[in-house]
Chain A
Amino acid sequence: MIRFILADIKRMWAGAIVVVLLVALATALGVTVTLQERALRLGSARAADKFDLVVGAPGSETQLVLSSVFLQAAPLPLVSGDVLAKLAADPRVAWAAPIGFGDSFAGYPLVGTTRALISNTTTGFTEGRMFEKEGEAILGAAVNLPLGAEIKPMHGTAASGGETHAGVVYHVAGRLKPTGTPWDRAILVPLQAVWHVHGLGHAHEEGEHEEAGHDHADGDHDHDGEAQHAGEAAHAAEVAPATGETAANSATHAEEHHDDHDHHGTIDADAPIMEDYGTDAPGLPAILVKPKTIADAYRLRQAYRTGGTLAVFPGEVLTSLYSTLGDAKFVLSAVAAGSQALVAAALVLVTVTHVAQRRRQIGALRAFGAPRLSVFTIAWAELFLMVALGICLGFLIGLAAARLIADAFTGQSGIVLPVEFTGQDVRSFLGLLIVAAILAAVPALLAYRQSPAKALRS
């Protein structure tokens, strides 16, 4: 019987290929949507795993998480520098690390941060070491630069018309192990360097620097009182898409401060790194906080959700984001299911027509004594075989497509998307096979019920 079925399929190979491909593509569409959505959820959740609490200025919770955890370039309002000092001194906090961003190099974002954050959120170095001086940088695992390379930061990105900071050069001191997060694509530099490059943060360090014998060329900046903070915010917004106040403010201030670029600060490459921030620290886009306990995390979130700060759990924000994604997934899944249903209906129509065209063959089989059950089995197995093959192929194409998309996404964002089949997919696979088995029974039943005499007469 198998030989007969295969010979029959081979005889109508062109139609069989079309059926298999139709089923495969319809299946692949659904599989890709499911795998991709799940991978995006898992990948983003894992990327945010290390960041328990993020504190920023009031604004969009989602944007705060996207910018700080996923390093998405977008303007953020600044939170006052004294919040960092307050958090660092809070007994409920294990560590609090500020981040500043907005510059880039060779398409990689530059993130100013602290050694505490790097030590606490990564698993060490594949080569080199931690930055020890203001002019040193370390690379995320996916940054394609060699150790010792020179990094000349640029305001914003080349695509957004950024300008290179004149005279500012970092040297790569180390490369981190992969984390599967956007930070793999980041170049990490001391936060104080970012401040200095943008002409900020000298006031609170002045005494220390003088003691250390450093004399900054950008001392002509006036950073007193409220005017200082306003200037910082405006400047940050202007020079970097992710460090400013808001998009609107950025545009306004960009015009006003553009001429200031040339006299914006530079760094002292050999200056030691000071990570003891006082209450006069410049404004910050975000502070990543590690609470000591879960209870502390909730208390801190509560405490820093009032006044001039906004504290969020990235996981909670992502959950909210997922629900939006979930709606999108529902729409995409509905579209995929609709296409699968259309393909299924088309297939049944095609096979019913096919059975009608094969009436004489079926009649002959019966006339020669083939049992009705054999005729049913032949008609059923032929269609089921093609559809099952299409479903298998569809799952493989779906997996390949999801992996290609995930790889492209990882290349752009650094977030590793775990595309893999789970028990749910196995259940879907079996479910589709069952549906295929039932659908294949429709033409088979027609063949089963066909009178051999009438079939031969046709």
Chain B
Amino acid sequence: MLSLSVENLSVSFPGLDAPVLVIDDLKIAAGEHVAVTGGSGSGKSTFINMVTGLDRTASGNIFWNGQDIARLSEGARDRWRAEHVGLVMQDFHLFQGLSAVDNVLLPARLSRVADRAMTDRAHELLSSVGLSRPNQKIDTMSRGEMQRVAIARALLRRPGVVVADEPTASLDGASGEAVGKLLLEMAASAGSTLIVVSHDQTLIDRLDRRLTLAAGRIKTDTKAGERAQ
């Protein structure tokens, strides 16, 4: 379980006058489930890239449990991310030709940490997300099933934080609701902090907190109880 503290973060891209993301101070408690919303170009993807270490800026600090990942080298960020972050994406990013369980295990295998225990956990996770055929090829699965495989993959190494980028956006209503519910349950059972970028109101409403970005800044930061009022 990881807590996040962002301080004086400013992200600019060449050719743009204004920074695409500016966060003076943001704290997310360990185990908190946070929704990040905002319109197109509001800075959601940049926020995700920064907090997961996919990208880096020279300005500001991003502390996860006190460790500033903005100061890590690219290789060190890769290792940190592999160990602490579970990613779920809109497009699943599963690899054709491999089975469900091979997809779940692929990142761990590439990092050379997949052992028997991890293989067993991959099978358990697939069973937990409701997939009974771990050796089924990805190519033959429905989109809902694919996203379940992606959730199992994200949770394989018991990450301190799960980051989901529009996890239900490419699913139909029923599948999206089931996947959203599953994501919350799995993150809760793994004790992971959860950050979800979404436009799915049903899913957003299930989360503890909602950050709304606009023009690269946090426009609103509301708790579930505050929203209900």
A contact set with B: CB distance below 8 Å: 1, 3-4, 7-8, 10-11, 360-361, 364-372, 374, 378, 451-453, 456-457
Contacts and interface: CB of A to CB of B under 8 A. Distances in A.
Given A4-B95, A4-B98, A453-B55, A368 B106 contact: yes
Interface of B: 45, 49, 52, 54-55, 74-75, 78-79, 81-83, 85, 87, 89, 91, 93, 95-98, 102, 106-107, 109-111, 153, 157
Nearest to B46: A453
A106 to B, nearest CB: 61
A372 B96 contact: no
A368 B96 contact: no
B83 A369 contact: yes
Contacts of A4: 95, 98, 102, 106, 109-110
A7 B78 contact: no
A368 B96 CA distance: 16
A369 B107 contact: yes
Given A11-B97, A374-B110, 6 more contacts: A4-B98, A7-B98, A10-B97, A11-B96, A369-B110, A456-B54
A452 to B, nearest CB: 5
Contacts, number: 79
Given A10-B97, A374-B110, A368 B55 contact: no
B87 to A, nearest CB: 5
A365 B107 contact: yes
Contacts of B83: 369
A7 B106 CA distance: 12
22 contacts: A1-B110, A4-B95, A4-B98, A4-B109, A8-B95, A11-B97, A360-B91, A361-B93, A364-B89, A364-B93, A365-B106, A365-B107, A366-B78, A367-B93, A368-B87, A368-B106, A369-B79, A369-B83, A370-B82, A370-B107, A451-B55, A456-B89
A366 B81 CA distance: 9
Contacts of A453: 49, 54-55
B75 A371 contact: yes
Contacts of A457: 45
For the complex of A and B, 8 pairs with smallest distance between CB atoms: A369-B82, A7-B97, A364-B93, A368-B107, A370-B110, A453-B55, A374-B110, A453-B54
A422 to B, nearest CB: 41
B54 A368 contact: no
Contacts of A368: 82, 87, 93, 106-107, 153
Contacts of B85: 369
Interface-centre pick from A8, A10, A11, A366 (highest chain B CB count, 10 A): A366
Contacts of A366: 54, 78
